[in-house]
Amino acid sequence: MDMSQYLEIFVEESKEHLQSLNESLLQLENEPGNMPILNEVFRVAHTLKGMAGTMGFTKMQKLTHNMENVLSEIRNGRILVDSNLLDTLFKCLDALENYVDEIINTGNEGSEEYTQIINELGNILSNNFDQGETTEKQGTVHVEQESSTNSDLEIADVHLTDFENNAVKNALSRSYNVYQISIYLNKACVLKSARAFIVFRSLESLGEIIKSLPKVEDIEDEKFEFDFTVVVISKEAKDMFEKELLSIAEVEQVIIRDIVVSGGEDELVNIPDTENKQDSLPGHTPQDTHEKDGGESKSIVGKSRPKAGKTVRVDIDRLDTLMNLVSELIIIKTRLEGIEGGNNTQNYNEAVEYLERITTSLHDAVMKVRMVPVERVFNRFPRMIRDLSRKLNKEIELTMSGEETELDRTVIDEIGDPLIHLLRNAADHGLETTEERLQKGKDKIGNIYLRAYQDGNNVVIEVEDDGKGIDTKKIKARAVEKGAITSDMASNMSEQDIVELLFNPSFSTAEKISDVSGRGVGLDVVKTKIEALGGDIEVKTTLGKGSKFIVRLPLTLAIIQALMVKLGEEKYAIPLNTIQNIEDVKISDIQYIQKQEIIVLRNQVIPIIRLDRVLDVPKKEQKELITVVIVKKGEKQAGFVVDGLIGQQEIVIKSLGKYLSGIRMIAGATILGNGEVALILDINTLV
């Protein structure tokens, strides 16, 4: 069977499972005894093993199988979670990510066996067996048999290990419900394991399964009759389980029992449900025994956790095609608006208004499809900070907020590397060592804050630390030493201008080079990448208190609102979100500071940029009154001198192509309604 058609689905789902595994392992490190988290780790490893086996990736399957063996022993209480064990599991995660990357690049998993990691997993198992197995008793669940109108059902006793026993007691103490659920399949069921898989999936959507009888592996191999029993921890009421399970085809009967701590002892016992029971009548079936043909189950209002939203994977090329169609529609709309003469009837105006509403709605709908939460990028950073904390021998805590903030998929795919640079710089350069922090009277734990929020048509991402801040004197001295600036220039530079030197290529203030940072290939790359995405970056710092890097990115790279202006006979577009205001300025009001034209507007000094000179556009006759468009990018402002204003338009950004992509000051082009091409100014380069 040709499995290549499923490769894309395999890769996408594997990435999701690996991200889930990463998050769960980090949680498990903080809560080693948390059974639901451990079950999630086991579930993900088990799912990856099955997926890899189905696709024929035997090396990946072998690694996850060995992981599963260790995780199974942890669940059974025979192995304790410690830092060494977690380090090995994180190595497994890295190896699995490498396998998936290899599959993406080559279509196969490669030749790496990761024998050393598999041996480490084997050593964990063998060391455990050398120490002897722990007793599996304590906490036997006693089940009282209940009568049934259809048949006499035998309900198994479920023996809990010490670990499972403690997990149940902990759950009960936190007001969770613990149920023993016995599921009976129709004896005509052909694919028992497939039906059991659906049952397990439904159970996992409502709670956490901590025990299965027979074992999950035996159920998968159909080594069971037509019934099996599980122990589940959940916030949900029994009615919800009944309704969910009895809706599954070929599930004939479900029996649910509560597990409680009896009396003052720590013995876990199972008791029959007495809620809403009728007096015993001949042939009456107790409420706990439910059949499909019986009465309706109760509905539960409110759940302890929301259901996962339904999603559909869409090929990005198809979205791009749809976006291009929307773009053409907008061009047609603009063209209609430009028609003059006798066509301006009421019907024509109504048609244009209707077309505008449709294109706006279509644009918004497509953009929402393209938008994904920044959580997709942020989720990889806690693990990275954990590893950096160990490597740098610093205690670091990463606090993230605004993960639900959405960005265009294209931007999301590109922003990861710049943020990695900023976070690594914060950990390595920004935060002091534990000893230095204690000497300064700071908390020994260094903090890094990663925030995201929407600001108008932009998304702002901040990377802040509470470390030592940026020493501008040190930057100035290093810049003079390297010949980047002269001593005279250094003496006239503002604090902010000095900080901006950090973004110069190959500039670094690190005393020593490490594999974390210090080679001077970080911040200039960050700035270049962010500006290529139509964004900008600025730095705020206080010596001794910390630094904040502020990244502003456009919500979308496809369609924007722009102000159309004239320069000579040519037309240009200025992104509307960068414009502060428009002023008519007298020539006599222009002043000079160090040969730079400036105007003073509301007590602010604003440099003047004559676009006709910068873009080499033929000059028009000088007027006494000039039009100045004031733009702002970050903390910087500038005034663009233009020959005329055309008006605001919604424009479609088109690439200049590979031959013209290197042109500075131009971010792209757009096609106007009359077919003319207008260039879009790159504010980042000009300001």
Which positions are annotated as active-site residues? 46, 68, 425
Strand partners, 27: none
Residue 81 in contact with residue 132, Cβ under 8 Å? no
Strand partners, 639: 608, 630
Q: How far apart are CA 438 and CA 270, in angstroms?
A: 54
Q: Assign 27 to helix, strand or coil.
A: helix
Between strands 644-652 and 536-542, the pairing is: unpaired
Quote the tokens at residue 453.
Answer: 């929020």
Residue 256 in contact with residue 181, Cβ under 8 Å? yes
Residues 6+ apart with CB under 8 A from 393: 433, 434
Q: How far is CA 397 from CA 381, 382, 440, 449, 619, in A?
A: 11, 9, 18, 8, 57
Q: How many Cβ atoms from other residues are within 10 Å of residue 650's Cβ?
A: 17
Q: How far apart are CA 24 and CA 28, in angstroms?
A: 6
- The helix (H) or strand (E) run that includes residue 375 is helix 375-378
DSSP state of 175: T
Quote the tokens at residue 467.
Answer: 């470390």
Nearest to 232 by CA among 251, 218, 213: 213
Q: How far apart are CA 613 and CA 637, in angstroms?
A: 19
If you search the block for the tokens 């922090």, which residue do you land on? Answer: 437
Phi-psi region of 393 (alpha: psi -120 to 50; beta: other; left: phi over 0): left
- The helix (H) or strand (E) run that includes residue 256 is strand 251-261
CA 353 vs. chain centroid, Å, equals 38
Nearest to 63 by CA among 106, 119, 17, 7: 119
